[in-house]
């Protein structure tokens, strides 16, 4: 960090992302680094925001959902609204993942049934496995 700013290189190394990723977040309006010529300079607040964006991506939020959560913070009701929205989105994501888990469990069970039927039929026709 130099003069209170992070370079794009420092942040890409710290977070393990590409410069293209950070430029994408900038293009999407999620972050707003300062510019000096062609150089992007990131404030500590930008760094925290990048950390939160990446966390949101890891837990499956879309860019649109992340943008919405960030925007709620910037406008009334501010942090309270942001936290309530975030809790709502977390509940939705949790429900979505539980449904996916159920679908996977159902599919695995069906595959077990198919395999068992195949093994039974092979035994009926005298073919060992």
- The CATH number linked to 55 is 1.10.1660.10
Q: How many domains does the chain have?
A: 1
**77 contacts: CB under 8 Å, gap ≥ 6:** none
Q: At residue 128, does pLDDT exceed 80?
A: no
Q: In this predicted structure, what is the pLDDT of residue 9?
A: 94
Residue 80 lies in a domain: no
pTM: 0.73
Residue 67 lies in a domain: no
Indicate the pairing of strand 39-42 with strand 34-36.
antiparallel
Of 61, 69, 7, 67, the C-alpha closest to 31 is 67
Range of the domain at 55: 1-59
Q: What is the pLDDT of residues 49-104, one digit of tens each?
A: 999 999 999 999 999 999 998 888 877 778 888 899 999 999 999 999 999 999 99
Side-by-side strand order, sheet with 6-7: 6-7, 39-42, 34-36
* Spatial distance between the Cα atoms of 18 and 39, rounded to a whole number of angstroms: 16
């Amino acid at each position: 960090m130099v003069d209170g700013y992070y370079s794009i290189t420092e942040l890409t190394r710290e977070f393990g992302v590409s410069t293209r990723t950070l430029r994408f977040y900038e293009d999407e309006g999620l972050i707003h680094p300062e510019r000096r010529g062609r150089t992007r300079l990131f404030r500590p607040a930008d760094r925290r925001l990048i950390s939160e964006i990446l966390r949101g991506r890891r837990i499956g939020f879309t860019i649109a959902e992340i943008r919405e959560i960030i925007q709620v913070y910037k406008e009334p009701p501010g942090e309270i609204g942001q936290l309530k929205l975030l809790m709502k989105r977390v509940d939705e994501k949790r429900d979505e993942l539980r449904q996916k888990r159920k679908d996977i469990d159902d599919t695995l069970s069906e595959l077990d049934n198919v395999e068992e039927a195949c093994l039974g039929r092979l035994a009926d026709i005298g073919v060992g496995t």
